[in-house]
Amino acid sequence: MRFTRHEFIRGVRGVGDDEARLRLGTMNCISWNVGHLAWQEQRYFLGVEGKEIPFPDIQRDFSYGAPASTPRLDYVVEAWTAITSAADPFLDTLTSADLLASPPGDGRPTKRTRGNLLQRMIYHYWYHNGENQAIRQQLGHTGLPEYVGDIDSMAPFTAE
């Protein structure tokens, strides 16, 4: 998860606020994508777990199906940083048994596990990471980060 977050935010570095707020066609803008992933982290790893929601506006403005918007990049990066920092202590405590259990406040009719939510979050990051890089290419950015960065050193496979 930490490696995925690192790669996502690495792909946003060097983008100016005006570019981050630019919508190309019907695509969301880069800054909205940052807010959207902050929303999902806050929802899955804080709200569903019964913890405090530090950014109610993120919950309102960046949820799935929320109206398109063009937020300031510095604000959503600041919120994303605070939310991921607040989620880390919880994520650090999870055991294999915890990942097989349903979170207490999911409220879904189907049984989701914390492990399913964690996988969904990781895959969601990679989806929007690719989208952000496509936007940057359309904006004429060059020298974009290569993916998947230094996974061998930063997130090597380890057996349980």
| pLDDT score of 108 | 64
pLDDT tens-digit readout, 4-32: 999 999 999 999 999 999 999 888 999 99
Please check the confidence at residue 152 and state whether its pLDDT lies above 80: no
| Domain chopping of the chain, boundaries | 2-154
**Mean pLDDT of the 39-51 span:** 93
| pLDDT score of 104 | 85
pLDDT tens-digit readout, 102-129: 888 766 666 789 999 999 999 999 999 9
Residue 119 one-letter amino acid: Q
pLDDT over 70 percentage in the chain: 97
User: What is d(CA 103, CA 80) in angstroms, rounded to the nearest whole number?
Assistant: 22
CATH number of 2-154: 1.20.120.450
Question: What's the chain's average pLDDT?
Answer: 92
DSSP line for the chain: -HHHHHHHHHTTTT--HHHHT---TTSPPHHHHHHHHHHHHHIIIIITTT---S-HHHHHHSSTTPPP----HHHHHHHHHHHHHHHHHHHHH--HHHHHSPPTT---SS---HHHHHHHHHHHHHHHHHHHHHHHHHTT--SPPPSSTTHHHHS-----
Please check the confidence at residue 89 and state whether its pLDDT lies above 80: yes
Please check the confidence at residue 148 and state whether its pLDDT lies above 90: no
